Each structure stands twice: as structure tokens, then as C-alpha cells.
């Protein structure tokens, strides 16, 4: 297996993802950026968008976040996001039901996730 960087996706409620990845693509406020192992240290503000986890040149996981912060070091990528959803596990119907019950900002995000599926 090729060299990997350690991805951690943390929300206020829990550590959502913890895995090794060959490349992580994150939605920075100034544009998408990809992180490979041994990336230079970087702190980046993130916009609403999709985090892609690449392995063997293919996307293996996609997570949608509602803005956040990426802390990149040569060994790891830590992403702090207030809201995050796993796009592979999500279901549009369920997201819309949750959106109906949620507060405005949250509902907006959940609908955006449903639309991105």
C-alpha cells in the first residue's frame, strides 16, 4: 500500500472518521485543495462542500461538511466541522425528514446534503 496520511473528521459530538487515506480533497474557502502525505503544515478555513477520500486513484468515501477547519500536518489531516454527513450512508428521504424537524441552519445543510447525493 502506498504512503498514507491519517484523516480525522471531528464534529462537536464525536470523532466521526478516523482512517488512513492516500489523498484527501477538502473544500477550502479559497478553492478545493488536495492533501497528500507529507503535505506542508497548513491551517485552512473550509466552506460547505464535500471531502473526498481517495485510495488507489479512486474516491472511496465522501463526506459533506457545512464549513469547518482543516489542520494539515505532514502526517495527518484533522478536519473540524460543526456539521458533517457521510454521503455513502445517507439517504435523501431520511435527511429531508430530519431537516423538517431541525433548526433553520441545520435544515438548510441537510437539504443541501440530500441534493448532493
Partner 1 sequence: MPSLKDLKTRINSVKSTQKITSAMKMVAAAKLRRAQEAAEQGRPYADRMRQVIASLAAKSDGSNGPALLVGNGKSDTHLLVVMSADRGLCGGFNGSITRQTRNEVSRLQSEGKTVKLLMVGRKSADALRRDLGDLYIDRLEGIQGTSVSFADAGSIGKTIRDGFEAGDFDICTVIYNRFVSAITQEVTLTRLIPAEVGSGEADSADDASTVNYDYEPEEDELLASLLPRNISTQVYNALLESSASELAARMTAMDNATRNAGDLIDRLTLVYNRSRQATITKELIEIISGAEAV
Return residues touching partner 1 (CB under 8 A). Answer: 10-15, 28-30, 33, 40-45, 69, 71, 73, 78, 80, 82-83, 102-103, 105-106
Residue with cell 431537516: 99
Task: Identify the burial level of 2 via C-beta atoms within 10 angstroms of its C-beta, where 0-12 means exposed, 13-18 middle and 19 or more buried.
Answer: exposed
Nearer to partner 1, 1 or 40 (CB): 40
CB of 114 to partner 1, least distance (A): 19
Give the Cα separation of 77 and 80 in Å (integer): 10
CB of 58 to partner 1, least distance (A): 27
Strands 42-55 and 84-86: unpaired
Nearer to partner 1, 19 or 55 (CB): 19
Residue with cell 492516500: 22
CB of 27 to partner 1, least distance (A): 12
Amino acid at each position: 500500500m502506498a504512503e498514507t496520511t491519517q484523516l480525522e473528521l471531528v464534529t462537536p459530538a464525536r470523532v466521526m472518521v478516523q482512517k488512513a487515506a492516500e489523498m484527501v480533497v477538502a473544500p477550502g474557502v479559497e478553492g478545493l485543495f488536495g492533501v497528500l502525505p507529507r503535505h506542508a503544515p497548513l491551517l485552512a478555513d473550509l466552506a460547505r462542500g464535500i471531502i473526498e477520500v481517495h485510495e488507489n486513484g479512486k474516491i472511496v468515501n465522501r463526506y459533506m461538511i457545512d464549513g469547518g477547519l482543516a489542520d494539515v500536518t505532514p502526517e495527518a489531516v484533522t478536519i473540524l466541522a460543526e456539521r458533517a454527513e457521510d454521503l455513502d450512508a445517507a439517504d435523501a428521504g431520511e435527511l429531508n425528514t430530519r431537516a423538517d424537524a431541525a433548526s433553520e441552519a441545520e435544515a438548510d445543510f441537510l437539504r443541501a446534503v440530500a441534493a448532493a447525493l
